[in-house]
Chains A and B, each alone.
Chain A
Amino acid sequence: MASYLVAVAIVALIYMLLTVGLNLQYGYTGLINFGHVAFFAIGAYASALLTLKGWPLAPAFVVGMVVAGLAAYPVGLLSLRLSDDYLAVVTLGFAETVRLVIQEEKWLTRGVQGLPGIPRIFQSLGVGGYAELATLVTLVACNVAAVALLVHLVRSPYGRLIQAIRDDEVAVQALGKDPARLKVQVFMLGAALAGLAGAFYAHFITYISPDQFLSLVTFYVWIAVIIGGPGRTSGAVVGSLILMIFIEGSRFARDLIPGVSEVQMASVRLAIVGLALILFTIYLPQGIMGKRKV
């Protein structure tokens, strides 16, 4: 039981990193990133491939983060030229293309067969559950650091300006400031967080394949951002926890309801995500933690 809870907590914290990153991009800066899973995948594969080649974990994690952040640079540049809704579809297309490349370039990624045997985090601590606990603690530390840095960023003049950009970009330009620089930076920061989450994911699950990086993951994170409340870091934390409860809860629910297969449960989960996106957008766009309307 304890090891199950630790595992759930680990996945929850991975989602939290993803949510904090997307919240910075969308909640605070107004960037509609529908391709978040791409950077999650890039971080995961980069770190996995390096460690499978013999690299130690820590530098591989860092490289995963950096590569994901750098990959966001061209996408970020695009955001300068596109209004919100086009950025959304372009980032979506980017994510689908990334997954396609992972699937097709078998020489690098082994395609749909995936990469098994990825080194565990804290492998040296053996199989007694200590490795998982140590992973959990590390993840908690990472999340605390990410949240702390984010809160600091948001309260700074930089944070003021990105929120101004979200509220009215034309006015920002009329005041002589260039939104472009910040938008690209924010895009890269959020992507780097996603890359870090991806590295943790790869080395926790120890097997990754393109199927784990469907666009559905992006929208799980969107649900977490929306439910928690865009533009509030507390919202990102709360939202990702609610998301985990939902995902894990649905596994239990299936055990309670006879006659529902795992595949059907996946459909139910998708339906609930879709419904939640619709209902929260209409009735509670500011989310649970939000006071002000977005």
Chain B
Amino acid sequence: MSFTDFVNLLINGTVEGLLIALPALALTLVMGIARFPNAATGDYMTISAFAAVGVQALLPKSIVLAALGAVAAGIAIAVVFHLWVFRALQGRPLVASLVASIGIAFLARSVLTFFVGHDQQGFQLPLVRAWNFDGIRVLPTDLIVAGVAVAAMAALFAILHLTPIGRQMRAVADNPDLGRASGIRVRRVLTVLWAMVGTLCALGGLLFGAKAIVTPEFGWELLIPAFAAMIVGGIGSPVGAVVGGVLLGIAQELSVPFVGPSYKIAVAFGLLLLVLLVRPRGLFGVATAAR
């Protein structure tokens, strides 16, 4: 592998990793606060992405409106299912929320495919050519993708650490009973949490659609890599989700010359297993996946 190839793979991997980091963040937030893996995370992304496609179909000129449509859809779906399903399952064993989240994933995807079919869709984005620095290729789209992802993460960190609601969320993550006892309105915190989850998933779906073609299955297929990113980075750690995502993205890209492009999900799964066996805590995690 030449140096140029290596750098190109590194760049691709970083951008893809930043993409994976967004649903990984959504997963890690829910894990930290509601303490279960939300298997519907991927399909929240899918719905949001298709919402953007839909808006674009109606109003072809406005990318911004399409993006807003995606975010609105993401927030709506996340909050609605929280209010309808997850809130009803509070106090029940976590497997209940987990199984229900699978149900939500299926329900969301099937409603989508019923109306929209299984065809792939693309966003209408202005065509751009890659910049070429001596063989090192950088797509302007990728820069935008990376930029938006980083901005979203920065906003998330700002909210978590600089706002009262963020402080409350972190308190509830640490100790829900103590949080409730200190007068934190847990209901409100949870609703805000899910709105944030919806936003992150929407952005993930949008950015994915900006880079690649979307199919109704793409979100579900990102679930394992997102989960792997969360585990690698450490559950409950937003920083970990980002670092984990980037590491995973790079690992996946670097594996392509060796195992081919189809095995990316297997690489993610392999990394997931490795971390669980060797260092279940992940890079920055506090809670452990192991006993």
* Residue positions of A touching B, CB distance < 8 A: 32, 34, 78, 80-86, 88-90, 92-94, 96-97, 100-101, 103-104, 216, 219, 222, 226, 263-264, 266-271, 273-278, 281-282, 285
- Find B103's partner among A81, A264, A281 (CB 8 Å cutoff): A281
Cβ–Cβ contact B272 & A281, under 8 A: no
Distance of A266 from chain B, by nearest CB (Å): 8
Interface readout for B239-272 with A: 1 if CB under 8 Å, 0 if not?
A: 0000000000000000000001011011011001
Q: Given the complex, which residues of A lie within 8 Å of B144, measured CB to CB? A: none
Complex interface: stretch among B2-10, B12-20, B90-98, B171-179: B90-98
Cβ–Cβ contact B107 & A278, under 8 A: yes
A270-B109, A271-B111 known; A104-B263 Cβ under 8 A = yes
Q: Given the complex, which residues of B lie within 8 Å of A96, measured CB to CB? A: 224, 265, 269
* Residue positions of B touching A, CB distance < 8 A: 36-37, 39, 85, 88-89, 92, 94-96, 98-100, 102-111, 113-114, 117-118, 223-224, 227-228, 231, 260, 262-263, 265-266, 268-269, 272-273, 276-277, 280, 289-291
A-B contact list, 16 entries, CB within 8 Å: A78-B273, A78-B276, A82-B276, A82-B291, A83-B289, A85-B94, A85-B98, A86-B37, A89-B227, A93-B224, A267-B111, A269-B110, A275-B103, A277-B99, A277-B100, A281-B96
- Find B107's partner among A34, A80, A275, A282 (CB 8 Å cutoff): A275
A84-B95, A96-B269 known; A273-B106 Cβ under 8 A = yes
Q: Given the complex, which residues of B lie within 8 Å of A270, measured CB to CB? A: 106-107, 109-110, 113
Distance of B255 from chain A, by nearest CB (Å): 13
A85-B98, A96-B265, A268-B114 known; A276-B109 Cβ under 8 A = no
A83-B291, A84-B94, A219-B102 known; A282-B265 Cβ under 8 A = no
Cβ–Cβ contact B289 & A282, under 8 A: no
Cβ–Cβ contact B96 & A285, under 8 A: yes
A86–B231 alpha-carbon span in the complex (Å): 10
When A and B form their complex, which 10 residue pairs have the shortest distance between CB atoms, in order from nearest?
A277-B103, A274-B106, A274-B107, A270-B110, A271-B110, A278-B103, A267-B114, A93-B269, A274-B103, A267-B110
Cβ–Cβ contact B272 & A90, under 8 A: yes
Q: Given the complex, which residues of B lie within 8 Å of A278, measured CB to CB? A: 85, 100, 103-104, 107
Query: Of residues A97, A103, A222, which shows the largest number of chain B Cβ atoms within 10 Å of its Cβ?
Result: A97
Closest A residue by C-beta to B43: A274
Cβ–Cβ contact A100 & B266, under 8 A: yes
Query: Of residues B39, B99, B224, B290, which shows the largest number of chain A Cβ atoms within 10 Å of its Cβ?
Result: B99
Distance of A59 from chain B, by nearest CB (Å): 31
A103–B264 alpha-carbon span in the complex (Å): 13
Cβ–Cβ contact B89 & A86, under 8 A: no
Q: Given the complex, which residues of B lie within 8 Å of A92, measured CB to CB? A: 39, 223-224
Cβ–Cβ contact A263 & B118, under 8 A: yes
A269–B265 alpha-carbon span in the complex (Å): 27
A16–B223 alpha-carbon span in the complex (Å): 29
